[in-house]
Structure 1
Amino acid sequence: MENAIYWESQEALLKEILEQYRLIGSKVREGITRSVEGARDVGINNVICECSNGKVGRPSSCAKCFRRRVVEELCEKGFNASLCTSKWNHTSKMPGGRHEYIQVIASTQGRKKKVPLLIELEFRDEFKLAKSCKEYSKLITLLPQVFIGKSEHLNAIVRLMCDAAKRSTAQQRIHLAPWRKRNFMQMKWSAYNSEKRLLHHNQITLTKLTQQLLFRPPPAAAALKVA
């Protein structure tokens, strides 16, 4: 009974968070979504991706090149878009890592102040477990495939999903991988993380790219160490 109440409350809370998420910046989100879909639909024949993945064909076949293509599309549509990379060191409590995502500086409806929006192109995949209970799997299906939103909604979702992942693995008596724990997950989008120690944050602003440059790694930006 207690277990059922927990999952019902988590589902209700997630739906409430997502409802607030959808209401804020809906018009901006629609424009960004069109650019994402436009980048996904672009077909480039007989092109070899020059990043370390070395895949052939559409830019969406390589996650790294797809992110660059999305930034290019956004810049072409007049958005202030940038490609960001978060890096953090290994500690006794969690492994080190690196994560790349997109940021757009936009004005939401009724606001003159610029608001940073984070774009995660494969948001659901960030929370998937190799083995999970059916209740946790249902929460995954409620998440947007592409997250386009503010820090408070991102952090609220991360807290809820990481707690649910811990509950799911405990129910099945299996170990929760360190890369699915809350501290590690928050570091992925560290520009929005209040715990910024051990963080190096690189931000690369991309302008219009040629087809050739699209498949070439961007020039390295100087690392900015955040205390």
Structure 2
Amino acid sequence: MDYRLTYFGFPSVLEGYSDASWITNMEDHSSTSGWVFRLGGGAICWASKKQTCITNSTMESEFVALAAAGKEAERLRNLIYEIPLWPKPVSPISIRCDSAATLANAYSQEKLPFPAQKYRQYGTLLSPHYEEAVVSQFLDQFAESVDLIGRIVEDERDAYRNQLRVQVSRAAEIFTCLRSNKQMMRRNVMAYLRNCGYNAAVCKTKWESSGGLSGGSYEFVDVVRGDSASRYVVDLDFAAEFAIARPARSYECLLQRLPRIYVGTAEELRQILRAASNAARWSMKCGGLILPPWRKHRFMQSKWLGPYRRTTSLISSAANRSNGVKCRAVGFDAAANGGRLVFPAAARTR
């Protein structure tokens, strides 16, 4: 297939697009600026260059890119002035940027950092229509994510999941005194579910660092349905795993839709993770912050959907290795049974 630039002769207004990629070179911690200018429906000038200064945030790198694009816009404007047949005066050149934080600071009346002052020096303007479009896209993304999470959480067509939710809620209420010890609470809830006949276990995921993914481990409860081998994830403090610094108001609305105790299938969880991770990225970008590695989509997927090992032991391996410390499971009928959870010899599997 052949590719080519096509020009239509309209619009006869020069417009530019600017973007930056923060710290793309890990050797010297430099960022990359990029811009393209269009005229007559096609591109007439474009570039991608390494920035010569070190920036401390994505917003600063965006301002540096805008400053470089402003210099190019000034050169193109002077070139247009030299064309005899070009209508005068030349229309203002708009440079469009996709960073909500950069746009907000560019229009602010407060003193701006050096790159922003330098950008204003060249007299180019950000398009207010594009700013509205970015904000509108930002809000639309949040609305779609909130609606998707709401539909998944409120769906009651799965009778097995509905009953499992009831049992998990009862167990969480019984062992609410153990909320400060999440590990012990998970294992007691798992034991309660097994006593109710569910094939429940404490599930531990563990993954290594690779390709920008930070290594880590995580524990939750899972239940395997016997008649279909479907796997249900049970997390007793689910919403807290999505908290971020300085969340946007729209992201706070999304957090309110997330259940504190999650019970659902792995596929439903996959959809929630994708929607919530995208919303977190947008929220951090709006505030001029970088999404931390432990809130990125790949990391969140690894926590619940990565390689895992199941165990039905009431005492964790770490507690077992402790020297001179006797551990016991705390649960219902503890006083009547010498402080131990008692279960039938053979548990049913639903």
Both structures adopt the same fold (TM-score exceeding 0.5): yes
The Cα shift of 1:26 comes to 4.0
Structure with the larger RCO, 1 or 2 (CA within 8 Å, 6+ apart): 1
1:78 is aligned to 2:197: yes
Give distance in 2, aligned partners of 1:213 and 1:143.
30
**Secondary structure of 1:145's aligned partner:** coil
Match for residue 168 of structure 2 among 15, 36, 39: 36
Report the AA paired with residue 328 of structure 2. Q
Whether 2:319 is the aligned partner of 1:212: answer no
- How much has 1:190 moved relative to structure 2? 2.6
Q: Which amino acid aligns with 1:205?
A: T
CA displacement, residues 48-76 of structure 1 (integer Å, 9 cap, x when unaligned) = xxxxxxxxx93222111111111011111
> Corresponding residue for 2:177?
58
Equivalent residue pairs, number = 187
Tell me, yes or no, if structure 1 residue 203 matches structure 2 residue 310.
yes
SS at match of 2:221: strand
User: Quick one: which amino acid aligns to residue 204 of structure 1?
Assistant: T
Is 2:134 aligned against 1:15?
Answer: no
* Contact 1:118–1:148 (CA under 8 A) maintained in structure 2: yes
1:90 to partner: Cα distance: 2.0
Matched, 1:118 2:233: yes
Q: Please point out which of 214, 219, 222 is paired with 1:103.
A: 222
1:155 maps to 2:243: no
CA contact (8 A) 1:124 1:145 kept: yes
5-14 or 181-190, which moves further after superposition?
5-14
Give 3-state SS (helix, strand or coil) of 1:166's partner.
Answer: helix
Contact between 1:89 and 1:97, CA under 8 Å: does it hold in 2? yes
TM-score normalized by the length of structure 1: 0.72
Q: Which amino acid aligns with 1:6?
A: F
Q: CA RMSD in A?
A: 2.5
Q: 2:264 and 2:284 mapped to 1: Cα distance? A: 28
Q: How far apart, in 1, do the equivalents of 2:174 and 2:228 lie?
A: 33
Sequence identity, in percent? Answer: 25
Determine if contact 2:201/2:222 at 8 Å carries over to the other structure: yes
Q: Which residue does 1:186 correspond to in 2?
A: 301
Contact 2:148 2:272 in 1 (8 A): no
Q: CA deviation at 1:137?
A: 0.9
